């Protein structure tokens, strides 16, 4: 960041020019934009931080795998994760008990996990293979 001021720049006594990217690094919620930025910002002999592109790539893979699931599994996962409904509400919608709704959620997650494992793309991203 350059602290050179041009004659056209004027700041009041309370204004200090700051680089927003430097501020984001201090907050801890900062994520590099891509793999190359993550590598450049990593200290020597340290693992680079996870970058935004990685999360969107994983999200795309999960969405692809959700499409393979049975309609009931997709419905249960959508209702629990996106609509944020309770098991009681899910059970009412499906005409079953809350306990049975919980069991269906467990089964749907197991099916999603199986599809993700078979797909293998996430394993490669996370370097498990």
Tell me the per-residue pLDDT of 7-56, one tens digit each, with 9 for 90 and over.
555 545 555 555 555 545 555 556 776 666 776 777 787 777 666 666 67
Residue 76 pLDDT class (50, 70, 90 cuts)? very high
Provide the residue range defining the domain that includes 100: 53-125
- What is the per-residue pLDDT for 129? 44
The CATH code of the domain that includes 83 is 1.10.10.10
Closest CA to 107 of 75, 61, 84: 75
Domains held by the chain: number: 1
User: What's the CA gap between 26 and 76, in Å, rounded?
Assistant: 39
Instruction: Tell me if 121 sits within 8 A of 63, measured CB to CB.
Output: no
Residue 35 lies in a domain: no
- What is the per-residue pLDDT for 43? 75
Torsions phi, psi for 42 (to 5 deg): -75, 140
Residue 100 lies in a domain: yes
Give the dihedral sign, CA 95/98/103/107: positive
């Amino acid at each position: 960041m350059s602290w050179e001021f041009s004659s056209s720049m004027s700041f009041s006594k309370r204004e200090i020019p700051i680089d927003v990217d430097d501020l984001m690094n201090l907050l801890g919620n900062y994520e590099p934009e891509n793999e190359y930025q993550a590598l450049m910002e990593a200290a020597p002999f340290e693992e680079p931080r996870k970058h935004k592109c990685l999360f969107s790539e994983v999200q795309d893979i999960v969405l692809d795998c959700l499409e393979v699931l049975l309609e009931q599994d997709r419905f249960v996962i959508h209702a629990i994760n996106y609509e944020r409904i309770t098991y009681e509400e899910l059970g009412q919608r499906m005409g079953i008990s809350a306990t049975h709704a919980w069991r269906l959620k467990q089964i749907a997650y197991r099916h999603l996990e199986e599809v993700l494992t078979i797909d293998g793309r996430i394993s490669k991203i996370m370097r498990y293979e």
